[in-house]
Amino acid sequence: MRLLRNNPELGTRKAVYEIVVRNPGVHLREIERLANLPLGVVRYHLDRLQREDLIFAREDRYFKRFFPKGRIPSVPTETFEALRQEGLRRIVLHLLNSPGATHSSMMAALQLPASTLSTYLSILLRKNVLRRERRGKENLYFVADEESVMKVLMVYRPSFLDKLVDSAISLYLDRR
């Protein structure tokens, strides 16, 4: 404790580390906002935490996402990455409550343009968060591993700050 008081840099690093632990898959700018620290300071501490082997980073399209080593449930990082993005999370939550939804039914329910929904679905399929089944001329979409998704949503519920997450968890638990 005395070491932290004498060395404020370690206190800042600990704060950055705790943000990553509480919010696996968090990206750089989100850490900056949550820590209320300058971007350069956040980058410095993330770099140090990676060199100390306490966290690791994964590239996710336009973001670099950070995860604590050995501190997250045995869920693929792709699941965390997908659930950290609001648009992708909305689709996953919809499919948890309406498994087997079609593209057109999701467009209507989520009020998304066809091209946006198609892009999001292809990302979720590539990350193995969703699976697609062909029935006749239609594709039906399902959450590939409901247990893993629900584990992430329940354990990290406060980090999502999303009422949709709360209602999806309630509906899922009611179905069981």
pLDDT in tens, 73-122: 566 778 877 887 888 889 998 998 889 999 999 999 999 999 999 999 99
For residue range 112-161, what is the model confidence (pLDDT) as tens digits?
999 999 999 999 999 899 999 999 889 999 999 888 888 777 776 766 65
**Angle between helix 39-51 and 8-22 (nearest 10):** 80
| Whole-number pLDDT of residue 175 | 64
Q: Look up the pTM and report it.
A: 0.64
- CA dist 147 → 27, 73, 153, 176 (Å): 24, 12, 10, 11
Q: Which fold is adopted by the domain 77-175? A: Arc Repressor Mutant, subunit A (1.10.10)
Domain residue ranges of the chain, discontinuous segments joined by +: 2-68, 77-175
Triad 128, 104, 102: Cα angle to 5° = 45
Same fold for the domain at 2-68 and the one at 77-175? Answer: yes
Residue 32 confidence (pLDDT) above 60: yes
- The closest alpha carbon to 84, from 51, 106, 58, belongs to 58
**Angle between helix 103-110 and 86-97 (nearest 10):** 110
**Which two tokens mark 176?**
């069981």
Architecture of the 2-68 domain: Orthogonal Bundle (1.10)
For residue range 46-55, what is the model confidence (pLDDT) as tens digits?
998 988 888 8
| Whole-number pLDDT of residue 114 | 93
98 CB neighbour count, 10 Å cutoff: 15
Q: Which residues pair with 142 in a beta bridge?
A: 131
| Whole-number pLDDT of residue 16 | 92
Give the whole-angstrom CA distance, residue 126 versus residue 152: 19
